[in-house]
Every structure is written in structure tokens, then in C-alpha cells.
Structure 1
Amino acid sequence: MDILEKQLICPICLEIFTKPVVILPCQHNLCRKCANDIFQASNPYLPTRGGSVSSGGRFRCPSCRHEVVLDRHGVYGLQRNLLVENIIDMYKQGSTSSKPAPQRTDDQPMCEVHEDEKINIYCLTCSVPTCSMCKVFGSHKDCEVSPLKSVYQVQKTELTDSIAMMAGNHDRIQGIISQLEETCRAIEENGRRQKSHLCEKFDNLYAILEDRKREMSLKVSAEQDEKLIYIRGLKRKYEDHLENMAKIVESGIQTMEEPEMAVFLQTAKPLLQMMGEATNTSHLEKVEHGYENMDHYSANFKKERGVLSSINFITDEDEEEVDLVGAEKDIQKEQATSEEFLGTQTDPLPPLLPPSPEKHTQSS
């Protein structure tokens, strides 16, 4: 039945031939209405009477481009193809008995240029539904077209796949949001732990270190707040992206329920583009590994009381300087101790004399 249906398609309206069917001299068939539309479009200056051409003219076959010359009767002078009409009747009876006929809605879109023509084909070049007259004589005559039903099936399949992909991305983004929430809790916990450590150390030197403790705590809080603001803002971005995806999916589901193919195709293309953009998360920032770590706010209180007012969070360079300063102070202390010891010896040392010859001889 599918093969037979392809042989009964009019090359103009891309639908099954409508009776009466006329046969051209080149043996190709057309609906009489379609043949009349082509004839009038090819002979716009011929006089008409009652909507039909009253004098002869010519036009080209849309299938083979063979020139068809008509007499004064116009397309009504062409011979009807009764065999094709009988085959159409048998085909319709067979298709009706095998499957229910598709319901046609009265609100099928009409062509804006040709108001009497239904939108029944799809322009692949311009990606818009159009009518057969636009293909033959209108703005789409040089474009590649396809039957509305085939494009409808292809884009409906693409939309179904996109909806499934969006549903899969929903779970993945929801997992990222959960990780961001866990990062917020880790930052808060690490910030509280570091501030607690600082307070424990500052309590031993509270009288001197109270002001400094407040300043250092503010530094920890400032970075904590900065990181929390960043993470929460990033979380909101992902939530907004997820909400936008949900809206697009809802629009896609509503579009899937559209029974009319032309209306569906008018909304499916931009919706597919929106879905393609929504599945891309490359514009969303990712949190670096260890971003929640705040161990760099550790403190060391081994310095002298005289420099407590300049205490700050330690770095590797500060530890090296402390070791060098400690070593220099130890050397200076040893030198001072040695000089003090030498200063206590009041008796001068005897001069050095060469040994006597006798002692030298005895010893040798």
C-alpha cells in the first residue's frame, strides 16, 4: 500500500490525485485543479471566464518539463485518466479497511501568499512549511522541498531524543547542585574550625592579643563570606539553568501533543535550537579542587611578646625568617658570653718564649 501510495501522489500538491485526473501528452498525470493552476500561472494575460481559461495556451509538465499545448478548451480539453481514478478508489477502500483514516482538522494552516492553498509541503532550504504553489511559482521554486509528513516524523523523532537528553542532564545538574551545597557546608565548617583554633591560641595571650585576634578573625570571615557568596551565586546559576531546562522540557512535551503537523513544525525548529543551547553547560563555572580549604589561616605564636602586635597568618617564608633570626640571636648570645668570660681574667698571660737548648737535647 505504501508503494502504491507513492505512485498516486500529485507532483504539485504532493497529495493523492484528486478527481478528475488528467493525463498529459507526455503520459504524466495531474489533478485537474493543479493543472489549471499551472496553466493560469504560465498564461497570466489570457482572458478568463468563470475562473477557467476560455482560450488555448501552453505550459510545461512539472515532472519532465515537456511543453503541453492546449486548445481553446484549456485543461478541460485534456483527457481524463479513468484507470488512475479507479485505482485511487480501490486504494482508498483498501486503506480504509486496513486502518482508520486520519482525522483532518478544519483549522489546517493556509498559505499566507496563496490564501486558497493549504500548507502541505516543507521547504528544506528555508526550513519553513509552505504550499505547492509557492514551490512551483512562488518564492520557493528554486528550493528543495519534501512532503510535510516525512519532515514531521524526522523532527518529531529529534524532539523526542532531545527531551530524553534533557531529562538525563537534569539528574547530572541536580548532582552538581548537591555538591555545591556540600561545598558550602564544608566552607562554613572549616571557617568555624579555624576561628575556633585561633580563639584557643589567643586566649593564652588575651590581654595583648585581643585587638589582633579580632582583625585576624575578620580576615577569615571575609574570605569565608567571599567564598560563600561565590558558591551560592554559582548555585543560583545552576538552579536557574535547571529551571530553564524544565521550562523547555515542558514546552517540548506540549509541542509533542500538537496534532497538526504544520503547527508542530513551526515551533519544533526553534525549540530544538533552544534545547541544544540548554544542554550546553560550558558557560557555567566549575569550582576548583580545594576551593573550600581554609587551612592557610593557621597561626603560630612562638614569637617574642614585643612583636605580638604584628602577628599575622604565617607563611613558609615567615617560618624560614624566624629560624634565621633565632640562629643569629644564638650566635650573638654565645659571642657575648665569651667576651664576658674573657673580660673577667685580670692577670695577663706570660709571653711565649723559645725552648732552651738543653731541654731540646734531652728530649731528642
Structure 2
Amino acid sequence: MEEMEEELKCPVCGSFYREPIILPCSHNLCQACARNILVQTPESESPQSRRASGSGVSDYDYLDLDKMSLYSEADSGYGSYGGFASAPTTPCQKSPNGVRVFPPAMPPPATHLSPALAPVPRNSCITCPQCHRSLILDDRGLRGFPKNRVLEGVIDRYQQSKAAALKCQLCEKAPKEATVMCEQCDVFYCDPCRLRCHPPRGPLAKHRLVPPAQGRVSRRLSPRKVSTCTDHELENHSMYCVQCKMPVCYQCLEEGKHSSHEVKALGAMWKLHKSQLSQALNGLSDRAKEAKEFLVQLRNMVQQIQENSVEFEACLVAQCDALIDALNRRKAQLLARVNKEHEHKLKVVRDQISHCTVKLRQTTGLMEYCLEVIKENDPSGFLQISDALIRRVHLTEDQWGKGTLTPRMTTDFDLSLDNSPLLQSIHQLDFVQVKASSPVPATPILQLEECCTHNNSATLSWKQPPLSTVAAEGYILELDDGSGGQFREVYVGKETMCTVDGLHFNSTYNARVKAFNKTGVSPYSKTLVLQTSEAIVAHEIKPMMRYLWLTLPFPVPSERLPLRRMSPFSSTLNLQPSFPGRSYFDFRSSPHQLSLHSSLQSLNAPGCNFETQSAPYSQLVDIKKLLAVAWFAFDPGSAHSDIIFSNDNLTVTCSSYDDRVVLGKTGFSKGVHYWELTIDRYDNHPDPAFGVARIDVMKDVMLGKDDKAWAMYVDNNRSWFMHNNSHTNRTEGGITKGATIGVLLDLNRKTLTFFINDEQQGPIAFENVEGLFFPAVSLNRNVQVSTEPLGVRANKCPGFFKPGNLPCKPRKTYPQLE
């Protein structure tokens, strides 16, 4: 908390704030310091007299009036304090913290009351010592400024944590250590101020004086004073004026200038501003963390510069010694040149370290101060300073983002010695400013034992040759399009392993990699041939389980027999040879589905019209172990921020009452694809939409509102198809909790069809659809939707697409294709 101490000290006296007040510019001052820097404006220079006279010669020099407009009554909420004006050109002085302040207009009166309570001369002007903006006070004087009770509480906690000695609150200059505290006046006194301002006679004789430590404890245990309205001092703040951004009382709303303004509950705005300040602090905290890491990097650079300097000097000495006497005279000059460069680099880095250290200390102090402010439970006091703190936090965060965290100097010495000239040319020997070109990196080696494919993803790994002496700054991984086409870059970076998602199923890809540095790129590695998995179709059979693949122990002929059942796909019995000795059997639907678990012999029952070879049937094999399907989860990276994910991104809902869009992670550009989504929750009859969309679809409106989505939206009674905000084909039949929505995307026929509970919903929804599509859903907080791991029906799941269609998505960063 030491860095926060700067936030707790008055810019005038340099001590901790005592009875701080908030100026209209959001800066703070001690009440006594504010009186000390008051400047009395001549009657002829008051706003009233200037309006009356219309013109005249002024003996004073004023600031630009356009700066004052920033704090007008319309936008600051402080217009009732008076109008901004410049301070007279009086001799100025520096406060202990270096901020310019103005001398007092008159000596503070010697009275037993606090100096801030004494009358303020008419037409007094106060100038903020930090931003130098001036304000002409009205009849209320300093009482018109709100007290910063939040800051008082923070200072009190800070002093307790530091066990700091309590200071007198009435000393005019450097405050002395307090010796007593008056419980009735709530003021700490040193001995001289107690005798002068609090004599033990008259009404003051009945006051109780206690030691400062005891007074601090009693002050902490006593309830804090509630902030009152500056216009109506007997009224507490009850609401928050949104336009003026300040707490107000009920009289301000009934008869004051806030009567026509929008107001909100004080507690609600208190929580809102605390939340905003906390969010702003999160961003600033990240910047501070980066700054700390950057300082570590800079300190390491000092060591690296020292080491590189020693290495460079040793090399230079060795070269000069080789030239013996002829080079010795030049050697001293060259060493001086290196030392000069060395000192220059160190100076630049140390200056940057010093600059960043100061900025980081200020940032950390602001953060700790803000955290202490957030701990305050006084809504009114917090809201008086929250806007200014939020602006300061954002401003400080922006300052860290403008190239501040970039080293101003490199650690390398970009010099090399040219020792090739003849001896008669020694007097011309000098440094070459740019190092000779270093060689390109060696060709990377693909590590075949770590390269693999899984479904429609491929993982590749590579390394530099063991004896390579040239470092590589990064690598470029290239893949072709799966059809023998041109290679395209899919990853550029420093990593030596990359996983590429979204490739075509049952396709062959060629991969290669090369390294690069400042000099250039290496030759390509050997080309690696990758084979993605074969796509297997999955659909649902009721009432048993998902339709399945079963393994037969002997080859069988390919044959297709029609089965009589309506479904989204033609119900058939498929026998497909897979590889020698094994075949796959595709059972989608038949009257014998209830006996699937007993034996495959049930397929010989009457009506199936199929006979196998004379070998016996195998027993039923565990289907899930033989199932290999492509599936998708929802994509948090491209979804709207209101979308809520769960169940490993297989379930989504929304935090907003408005429709928000979420896409699947897998895109399709060819083949036939079917997936199902289950309605987990359906309240208040909303209109969720299901379909497909481009990657750049609008995420904050219902699916189908723009020309990047093709969808069906449905309620509890009927559905419509929608594309580019055009509604067509109203169809009866809606959804409830537990309903299943099926989407059939046939890119071979370029059609899109929808199903509800295994029944086709209306005609073919859309035709002539082609390109790259992603599964898409739009919903609000009244709906929750899930997809299942076996949720994609694919002939060939797509992946590496044409340029412009976001080909494949590696799990590590890579540049997108143009």
C-alpha cells in the first residue's frame, strides 16, 4: 500500500488530507488548505459587475474561457458552486509535492473554530493546484463543496495500518504531532493549538479531551457521518441524478435544478459504479502485470548488454591483436567507440526503466487507492468520486498501451569489424554499421513419430536439425487443399507443433514446413502425406438407440434393399465392404429393431429378403466402440458475448431477452450433413431460430435477419423460414421442452431442409445454397439448446476451403488466407 500514499496527500500541504473537500474538477483539497489558497477577486471583476459594466480594462490576467466550458452547469453538475474564472497573476509558490499553488488572500483568523468554518470574503476565487482551473465561490463559500468522506475513511485505515502518529488538524504550516483529541469537536490538537483554539473555559470546559490513540479508536467505532446535500444541508442524499452525475436529496428533485432530470436509486447506481470501477481495474491490473514483466525484461536487458559488450570487446581485441603494431593505434579508438555505444544503450535502457518504474508506482498507487475506495460502504461518498476514478483508471490504462511496453534499445551491438583491408589502409579501418548477413536457418525436420490425424484434424510436429547453429525466428506451415492444389499457409509462429482442425474427411493432404529469420527463409522440409479419417454416418433409431455400424467376420457383397419407413434419409439396408476380411453393415430401420441386442440372425426373419453367405452370424458387437462420427460443439470465440456455454460447449443459453446468435465450430462446404438439437428449456413461448450461416453473420439479431443466414424460427404453434429478413412458408406445428430440431444441409443438391421430432417441417426450405456454412442458432434467455457429441451427419465433413472462406482453424494462431 506504500504506492497509494501519494493519492492520500494534499497537493498544497503535502500531508495527509484533513477534512478533504471535492472541487468541481474532481480533485481534492484539505478544507484548511482550500481557505489558504483563496484569492479575493475585486468587486469590479465579479461576474455581476462585469455584466453591469459591459467592458473595461482588467488588472488581471485570465485563463482561456473555453477551458472553463468543460465544467459548465449542463455537463458537470457543479454549476451551483459558481463560475470558473482564472486566478489573478499573483506570485505563485510550489507545494511540497511540486504542484503550483497560490498564496492566501488573507491570513486565517485565529479562532477556536476550524479555519474552514470562518466566513469567506465575497467574490473569493479558488484555483485547483493540480489542474489550475479556477472557480468563483458563491455565498456558501467552501461549504458549497461536498466533503470526501470516502477519502477520509481510506486515510484513516491507511494510518492505522502504518501506525502513523496522528497530526494536529489546526496547525497552519507543518502539522505537529497531536497530543489530545476532543470527542465533541472530533478534532486532534497539538498543545499550542489546544491552548489557542480550545481553551478549558466557557462551553469548551465541558468537552472531553482524550489521548489521540483512544480518540482514533472511538472515531473508528462510531458510525460515520452520512453525507448531506450541499444545497440542503439538513437533508441526506436519497437519489442519483444521471444528467448531473451526482447524489441529490428529495428537495433537489422537488424544487431544485434537478427537478426535471432523470434520477435513479442511490443504491443501484452505487453498485453499478462499483462494478464499472472493478471492471476498469481489471484492465489496469493486466497492464500493471505487463509493466512488471516488462521491467524484468528491461533489467535482464541490462545484464545482456553487459554480457554482449564483454563478448564484443573480446572479439574486437582479438582481431586488433592479430594486426599487431599496425592495429594497436586504431584499437584504442575502436574500443572507445564500443564503450560509447555501450554507455548509450545502457543510458537508454536505464532511462526507460526509471520512467516505467515511476509510471508503474503511480499505477499501483491508483489501483490500491481504488480498491480501498471500493471497500467503502458509503454510496453517496463513493458516487461523488467514482466517475473521476473511472476516468483516471481508463486514462492510465490507455497510457500503458501507446507503445510504452516496447524496448527503446536492442541488446545487440549491430557492428562488425572489417579486417580485410591491407596494412596500408589501416588508417581507414572503421566499424561497419550493419552486421554482415547471417545465413538462413537450416531446413526443419518433420518428427513423424509425433505427427498424426484424428477424425478431420491433423497434428504436425517439427524441429531444427541437431547441429544447426543458426537460430530460427519462426516457422511457416503449409497445406494443400486436399485435391492436389496449391499450398497455402495455415500457421506462422514460433511454435514447433500445430493442430489444424476442419479438414475434409477421407481426404489426402500434403504438408510441409520451412523456417525463417531476418535474413530469409529456409528450404522446405520433406513433404508429409496425411490421410484424414473416413466419415461415418450416424442417425437415430427409435425406440432403441442410434443407428449403427456392426462388424461381420467375413466379406459380404455390396447390396442395397429398400425398407418401408419415412425418415429424413432413405431407409436402406447397406452392406459396404470396408477392407479385406471385414465389412460394415448399415442398419437404419426395420421391423426387427427390438431384437438387435440378441443376435444378427434376426435379420433373416421373413420380410427382410436378404440372405448372406453360408457362414454363421457373429454376435452383436459393442456399437459405440465401432462408431466414428464427426461432431461439432458451439464456438465461444465467434458467439455474441451474451451467450452462456456449458457442458463442454455442447449446451447454450443466453443472458439477454434479445435474440443472440451462436455458431458451431465445424463448417461445411460439400457433402450431405445432418445434425439435431434438443430443446432443454422453453419458457414464455419465445421464437428460437435454427439453420446455417456464414462466419460473419450478425450476432445481435435473430438468425435470418441478414443475408448471411438461412433459418427456420419456431414457437409453440408454428414456424417460418427466414433469409435476409424475408419470412416464408408458415407451417403449423411448434416446439416444447424436449423437442428435437433436425437440420439437413445437402450441398450436393444445394438444399436446406428442417425437421421437428423426426418429421419434415414444411417443404424444402431453401435451394441453391452453396459456399461455406456453419451450424447456427439464435435464442434468448427463455431457451436452452443442446447438441450431442454424435450430432453431425456427414458424407464428407469439410475443412480446407477456397481462399476467402476461412479454410481451417489451427489451434495455434496463424494468418487467415486472403
Going from structure 1 to structure 2, the CA distance change for 1:315 and 1:113 (only over 3 Å counts) comes to closer
Letter in 1 for 2:248: T
Going from structure 1 to structure 2, the CA distance change for 1:228 and 1:287 (only over 3 Å counts) comes to farther
The one of 290, 310, 313 aligned to 2:431 = 313
Going from structure 1 to structure 2, the CA distance change for 1:307 and 1:252 (only over 3 Å counts) comes to same
Distance in 1 separating the partners of 2:379 and 2:328: 76
| Aligned pairs (5 A) from 1:29-40 | none
Distance in 1 separating the partners of 2:251 and 2:380: 16
Letter in 2 for 1:265: L
The one of 165, 180, 199 aligned to 2:283 = 165
Q: Once the 2 structures are TM-superposed, how far is the Cα of residue 185 of structure 1 from its aligned partner?
A: 2.0
Decide whether the 8 Å contact of 2:240 with 2:266 is kept in 1. Answer: yes
Say yes or no: does 1:293 pair with 2:418: no
| Aligned pairs (5 A) from 1:332-343 | none
Decide whether the 8 Å contact of 1:125 with 1:143 is kept in 2. Answer: yes
Going from structure 1 to structure 2, the CA distance change for 1:315 and 1:274 (only over 3 Å counts) comes to closer
RMSD of equivalent CA atoms: 2.7
Aligned residue-pair number: 215
Letter in 2 for 1:149: G
Q: Once the 2 structures are TM-superposed, how far is the Cα of residue 315 of structure 1 from its aligned partner?
A: 6.1
Partner of 2:320: 202
- Structure 2 residues without counterparts, runs of 5 or longer: 1-221, 437-818
Q: Once the 2 structures are TM-superposed, how far is the Cα of residue 129 of structure 1 from its aligned partner?
A: 1.1
Decide whether the 8 Å contact of 2:246 with 2:384 is kept in 1. Answer: yes
Going from structure 1 to structure 2, the CA distance change for 1:287 and 1:222 (only over 3 Å counts) comes to farther
Q: Point out the structure with the larger helix share.
A: 1
Choose 1 or 2 for highest CA Rg: 1
Q: Once the 2 structures are TM-superposed, how far is the Cα of residue 138 of structure 1 from its aligned partner?
A: 1.3
Partner of 1:262: 380
SS of 1:146's equivalent in the other structure is strand
Say yes or no: does 1:302 pair with 2:420: yes
Q: Once the 2 structures are TM-superposed, how far is the Cα of residue 204 of structure 1 from its aligned partner?
A: 2.7
Say yes or no: does 1:119 pair with 2:237: yes
**C-alpha offsets along residues 158-195 of structure 1, whole Å, 9 cap, x if unaligned?**
22223333333332222222222222222222222111
Letter in 2 for 1:236: S
Partner of 1:32: none
| Aligned pairs (5 A) from 1:1-364 | 105=223, 107-280=225-398, 281-287=400-406, 291-296=410-415, 298-314=416-432
Decide whether the 8 Å contact of 1:234 with 1:285 is kept in 2. Answer: no
Distance in 1 separating the partners of 2:350 and 2:374: 36
SS of 1:165's equivalent in the other structure is helix
Partner of 1:362: none
SS of 2:417's equivalent in the other structure is coil
Decide whether the 8 Å contact of 2:294 with 2:405 is kept in 1. Answer: no
Going from structure 1 to structure 2, the CA distance change for 1:223 and 1:205 (only over 3 Å counts) comes to same
SS of 2:234's equivalent in the other structure is coil
**C-alpha offsets along residues 183-233 of structure 1, whole Å, 9 cap, x if unaligned?**
222222222211111111111334232331111112111122112211122
Q: Once the 2 structures are TM-superposed, how far is the Cα of residue 122 of structure 1 from its aligned partner?
A: 0.8
SS of 1:203's equivalent in the other structure is helix
Q: Once the 2 structures are TM-superposed, how far is the Cα of residue 317 of structure 1 from its aligned partner?
A: 12
Distance in 2 separating the partners of 1:204 and 1:192: 19
Distance in 2 separating the partners of 1:203 and 1:134: 88
Distance in 1 separating the partners of 2:434 and 2:238: 76
Letter in 2 for 1:249: M
Letter in 2 for 1:300: D
Q: Once the 2 structures are TM-superposed, how far is the Cα of residue 123 of structure 1 from its aligned partner?
A: 0.9
Q: Once the 2 structures are TM-superposed, how far is the Cα of residue 290 of structure 1 from its aligned partner?
A: 8.3
Relative to the length of structure 2, the TM-score reads: 0.25
SS of 2:421's equivalent in the other structure is coil
Decide whether the 8 Å contact of 1:299 with 1:313 is kept in 2. Answer: yes
Distance in 2 separating the partners of 1:223 and 1:273: 42
Going from structure 1 to structure 2, the CA distance change for 1:112 and 1:231 (only over 3 Å counts) comes to same
Q: Once the 2 structures are TM-superposed, how far is the Cα of residue 135 of structure 1 from its aligned partner?
A: 2.1
Q: Point out the structure with the larger strand share.
A: 2
Letter in 1 for 2:255: F
Letter in 1 for 2:306: E
Relative to the length of structure 1, the TM-score reads: 0.54
Q: Once the 2 structures are TM-superposed, how far is the Cα of residue 146 of structure 1 from its aligned partner?
A: 1.0
Decide whether the 8 Å contact of 2:284 with 2:397 is kept in 1. Answer: yes
- Structure 1 residues without counterparts, runs of 5 or longer: 1-103, 319-364
Distance in 2 separating the partners of 1:260 and 1:229: 48
Distance in 2 separating the partners of 1:314 and 1:124: 65
Decide whether the 8 Å contact of 2:270 with 2:383 is kept in 1. Answer: yes
Going from structure 1 to structure 2, the CA distance change for 1:210 and 1:112 (only over 3 Å counts) comes to same
Q: Once the 2 structures are TM-superposed, how far is the Cα of residue 241 of structure 1 from its aligned partner?
A: 2.2
Q: Greater relative contact order: 1 or 2 (C-alpha under 8 angstroms, separation 6 or more)? A: 1
